[in-house]
Structure formats: structure tokens, C-alpha cells
Structure 1
Amino acid sequence: MPDTSLERLHGVLAAARAAGADAAEAVFAVSRALSVGVRKGEIENVERDETADLGLRVFVGRKQAVVSVSEFSKATLDRTVDRAIAMARLAPDDPYAGLADPARLYRPINRAMMDLQMCDTTHLSAENLQQRALDIEAAGLALSESLQSDAASAGYAQNQWTLLTSDGFEGSHNTSLFFQSGRFIATDADGNMERDGEGRSTRYAADLPDVADIGRIAAERALAALGARKVDTQKAAVFFDRRIAKSLISQFLGAISGTAIARGSSFLKTKLGQAIFAPHVQIVDDPFRMRGLGSGLFDDEGVATRRTELIKDGVLTTWLLNTASAKQLGMASTGHASRSLAGPSGVSTHNVVLQPGPSSPQDLMRDAGKGVVVTSMFGPSVNSDTGDWSAGASGFWFENGEIQYPVNEITVAGNLIDMYARLVPASDLDIRGTVDAPGFLIDGLSVGGK
């Protein structure tokens, strides 16, 4: 970050303290992004964004307020500080508001500075991105005349985020994100249409897969979905493809969020220290993965991160805590604070992985006999108090480990507590994002069909 920006943050903090804040934190974020989308061989959109924003959170007694601005003249920053202090004095008391415990903050002397390789400074031109998107589209369309392009795109973003607090914490991280995707529509002889796609995001441009592979995989998925049938309503084994398996793990993460636990609005609120999954199941959050999309040495309150076994041998070991939820629960922050510039801290994870099991997807399906492979879901619904869950879905019917035919217009439902207890992970883990899981099988779910 330029020295002028650091000076600006220090100045805002000093002004906030002088105006009556007992404590304050300031964040400065800069982002540059460029993306190109194509459809049917023509450019559909070109988007270029360059933004800079400053966020200020102040604490006056047990009250707090958060404001943000995107213009940084002295007059604007002075008004921002005054407004923040005035808002805080009018806010209700919050006994859990405050800066993070200094003892838990990240300090370079606590751990050798780690280069997590989070930022690739490669700059791609709009012409380069356009060609990538066109190549994705061409690779997919080459598979069949029954295909048409729905969309293809490529782009990247580079960001810098810096946090300063009145307690003396100062930390910054630079990140980049490169992405490309394609989506196709397949049409059969009767005019029935199916859509599917493939996409990938990486920290480094060189880690993106070949554009031809993106197009081919996306097209193959659309073609494979043609001829979908409905199935009878029944109880059946369901294999959740790894593309969407992570959504059920995300439901688990939401249920162990400290904010949800503190509110008492989680179906897992009484389960800390208990077996939630089978003994062979492990779920790990690792903030130190090289080039990981959620990696970082500290969270959005400056608390040092650590590798955490959320589920160890099936047992729930911890809540996900920021400073406020930790105080409310009489615990310590786990380094999972996340915040926008315009709001107080929430909770989020880093790089969560459900560890793979020993059996392939085919072996799990063979052992199950018959059931549904779910490859896409829409409109998922969960009761946060009970864990009752349902979603619309499509995918394939399988028997004896072999795919028989595509299915659509089905619903899958169950109770997440029961589902987690019966979850059996496959061996096909593919690390791609901030929450990753292999495919997994859950028996005895309600499948709604015709």
C-alpha cells in the first residue's frame, strides 16, 4: 500500500480517538478487475472495475458504529469520523463490542513470515480474455451440433486489504483471482433443452486449466443431461456429486457459526464435543494452504489464524468464533472473523476440506445398490432450529454402481443431523475453492418424484 494510504489510515484513527472514541479500527481496500463475456462468437460484455474504499469502526464505551467512504479528501474524512462518533453515541449498548484481544493478534514474531503465494501480478488484456472465452465456447460446440452456447467468460481481479487498529495492529494482504467458465445448452430431437457448465477460479493465472478442457467438460455435462426422466417418490440412497457436496458442508459451517450459536438459532447448538459424523469423518479448516482461495495469516479483526480440525474422528471440536461471539459465549476468538467495510464483524472460514474416504464413487454406489446421483441443486431450504432440509435436484439414476439415465424435477429431503451421521465420503476430492468435499453417499433419503 502507498505510504499516503497508510498515513491516511493512521490519521483517521488518530482523529477518531481525538473525537472521543475509546478504540477504533480502519480498513482500506483497493480492487482492480477485468472480465470479458462472449456468446455465440460475439462479445456480450466487458466489465472493468477499479475501486478504493475506507471503512471505519469506532467504539464509544459499549457502543459501536461503522461507516465507509470512497472519497478521501480531508473534509470527507473529517465528516466521516464525526458521523461515526455521533452514530456510536446513539447506538444501543453492546456488551460484546470491542477490538480483538491483543494476546490473540497476529504478530510476525510469533510465526516466521509465510509467503502463501496469494497474489499473481500478471495482467491479462481484454483481448486475451476475449480469446480465452471464445476458445472455451469453440471447444464445447465442437462436440455436437445439438449444442449452443449459453455463455463463456474469463477475467481476473487483484485486491489489497489493509487493517489498522488503535491498539497498534497493522496488517495487509494482497490477493488475486483468475477465472474462466463456460455454459452450454443441449437440445434433443424433441426440442427438450438441458443446461450445464464448468468453471474454475485460481490465485495464479498459470494454475487455470486449459480452456479446451473447460469447454469440453461443460459441453459433456449438458449433453449427458439430455433424456432426463422422472423417478417415483421413494426412500433411496443419494450420492452427492463433489460439485455440490460442498453445499451440505456449508450448511454445517453455518450451524457452528458463533453468531448462530450465541443467538441459539442452530440445530447443532447443543452438540459441541459430541459425535456429529461417523468416526471416520474429518473436516479441517486450513488457512495456510499455498495459493488457497481462503488463505491468510490473520482474520478480519487481526487475530492470528490456525489450522483447525472442526470435526475430528466424527466429533465436533469447536465453534467458529469472532471476537464478539467469543465474548458472548465466554470463549476466545478462533480467528474466523470476517467483515465488510460497512458493517461489524461476522464469521467465515478459510479453506475447509471434508477429507476423502477410501472408496471410489462407483464402489459406494455399487454397495448402495441403487439410487440417485445429484449433480445440481436449486432452492435449498433448511430449518435452522431443527435441521430439516430439502432441495430441488437433478442428476442421474444409478444401479449396481453404474449410471443408468439422467433424472430431473426431483426433490431430496432429510434432517441434516441424521444425514451427517450417515454420510460416507468417497475418494474423489478435488481442491478448488474455500469449501471442498469429495462426493459422498447418504442412504435412506426422501426422494420426491412423480
Structure 2
Amino acid sequence: MHEAVAAATKSTPEYRQCPYPVYRTLREQAPIARLTPGHGVDTYLITRYEDAHAILADPRIGKDMHEGIDLYHALFGDLCEALDDNLLFADPPRHTRLRHIAKTAFTPRHIHALRPHIEELAHGLLDRCPTDRPVDLMQAFALPLPVMVICELLGIVGQERTEVLKWFAVVTRSRFNKDLKGDLEEAEIWLRDYFARHIHRTRQQPTDDFLTMLVETPHEEEPLTDDELVSMIWVLLFAGHKTTTLQIGNCVFSLLTHPDQLRAVQENRELLPQAIEEMQRFEGSVETSTFRYALEDVEIGGTVIPKGAVVQIALNSANRDPEKFPDPDTLDFTREGLQSSHLGFGYGAHYCLGAPLARLELEICLTALLDRFPDMVLAMPTPAEGDWLKGPFPAFRGLERLPVALDPSRTVDDWTAGN
């Protein structure tokens, strides 16, 4: 096995800290690398931009893990199948139908209308952050804001939101741990039952939330069934907060470790949308794409990916490919044309449905932080390294913790102690 492949598969501490040297080696020496992951299914990792861009739009690469070859149970086991029966695991024509229906609630008009409320939520969270001592910005700000937004869109509020997130965390923690299979089953049953009750209640008492729009939106094709609505809530809840939470942290970390770029965006706020795209390219929260597989033998870059093999796309590697982005390891807010070229939100039919909402949340969060705390600094002993997510071969890249001093002039002298 190629040394770089081994490092990626084992997810060594050095790799999790900074995977980009490994990706550079793979792009140069094994751009379509065969992996030997724990699930035992033949898997190929794509690291070059050109190959990644092509595969994301290739109709020969499917996502329905039950179609033809049953890969779902080999990859995920026999639990959570009802929750996973969503547009992430669908191919046309079913994917086209599901996405078309979901898209009706993600129109620019609907997203724009959310701005005042998201701004209110952001400032409310920052009001509660201490300025006389370090605060973990992940727990105090980056995590709760996207959770609050997506739960409110789905009509999940109050104590119900607390319960949903508790069981959601159980699924996240236990999904790939055989020793926690009982916990996973209990959580899946609870979430399925709750979502079913919530859908029934929404039908009986419609409001103006996102879920009501999914339930009631007229469509020329067959409307969503209750089972499809359950899985739709699940995927929107998962995708609607985790990736944005991690990206908020990645953006703040990138700004605070690149003072020249931070100064540029502070002096010219019109640069912020472009800066967000560059930070998405530079340190995206979705490190590898969701699972795909070859519907037939597919030749890419001189390598044949055999029918039935799983395909994973290293989006963060593709976004650092010098063949596409000159000087890719440099954070440069003057880089142009990024929104239509970086792969941080994917590409093709499965391009992230919630990208406009994520961009809005990022803009609001960063604007609020820069306006209120222009002197904030990292509050960790080794700020250049960070406390990155650990675990098996990654789907996500982000920080476990992000201690910052929001107002260093008011923060106690030994603010790195204990971090």
C-alpha cells in the first residue's frame, strides 16, 4: 500500500492535523488510489480536481446503494436505513423528484427572508459570550446557531429540539461503532417515531415553516410520502447544521491565523463574500464526498474503477490542486471566480441544496464577529495547529474546540492556561 494511502486510511494524528501533504503526494503519485477501509468494500479515492469534477457529474457513478448491488448494508449495517432513504442516496428519476420538491423551500426569496432572524440569533448568542476570559467559539456560537436555524425551519423548537439533538448525537457517536449497536437502534427508533408524529402534527396544524412547505407544496409529480418526509427531515437536520458549524469554525480559524487576510477583509467588507468562497476552498468542512459507486467499469485518468466499487472524492484535495488553483496552499481573498469553481459544496446533480443558506449564515456570523470583536485572537497554546476532529478516515474537517479571546484587552493575563 502506498505510504500516503496508509496515512489517510489510518487517519494518523499528523494526518488529521494537516492532511494536505498527504493529498499532495497522492495527487502526484496515486491520484486514483485504491483503499482498504474497514468496511471491506473495494474503494477508490479521487484526489485531483479534474478527475473529481468529472466524477461528480458522471452518470456512470451512482448513489443509490440498493440499486443492482446492495452496498448499503455492507457500508452502513442494518440500522438507520429508513432515515437514509433520502435524496443523498438516490439517483434519477427519484433524486430529481425529491430534489425538485425540496428546492421549492430553498428559493432565493425564502433564504433572503431569513436574514433578519439569523442576525438576531447570532447577536443573541454573542451577547452571552464572556469577554473577560476565553470562550470556546465552537460550543458557544458555531454549533448552536446553525442548529437553531435548521430546527426552526423544520418547526422543531423548545424542549423537543433538545431531545432531537440528544438522540441525533447518539446516532453520530454510535453509527460506525459495533459496540454501540443497541444505542444506535434505540436512537433511530426514537427519531423515526418523533419525526412521524411531527409530520402528522404539521399536517393537522400547518404553519409557515419549511416542513409545512414540504408537506403542502403542490407538485406535478407524486408528493412526498410520510416515509420520505421522515428521511428528508433527517438529511436536512444533519446536513443543515454539521457542515455549517464546522465551516464557521474553519473560517474563524483561517482568519485568525492569517492576519494579512483578516486585515484585508476588515478594511474592505465588500470582500467578505469572496473571502468566504476562498476559505471554503482553502479549508472546507466537507473533506470527502458522500459515498458513490461505479454502475459499470469506469476509466478515469487511465485507471479502471470496477463495477460495484465505492468511490470517494477528496474534495479538500481537489480544492488544493495546483493544476486548477495557482499557489493553492496560500489563502488569498483576491482569488476570483471561486463560487463556480471550488468543490466545497460539491458539483453536478448532488450540488449542496443548502449552499445559499450556508453562505448566508457564514456571512452573518463573520460580520457579527468582525463588527463586535475586531481584536479577537486565538486562545490556545499552539494556535497554528488547532484542535482538529479525530477519528477514522474523515468525511468532515473541522475543529473540536476553538478557544478565542474576544476582547484581549479585558481578558485575564494567563488566558492560555487550561487550553
- Please tell me the TM-score bracket, short chain as reference: under 0.3
Structure 1 or 2: more strand by fraction: 1
| Greater RCO structure (CA 8 Å; 6+ sep) | 2
Structure 1 or 2: more helix by fraction: 2
> Which of the pair has more CA radius of gyration?
1
What TM-score comes out, normalization by structure 1 length? 0.25
What TM-score comes out, normalization by structure 2 length? 0.26
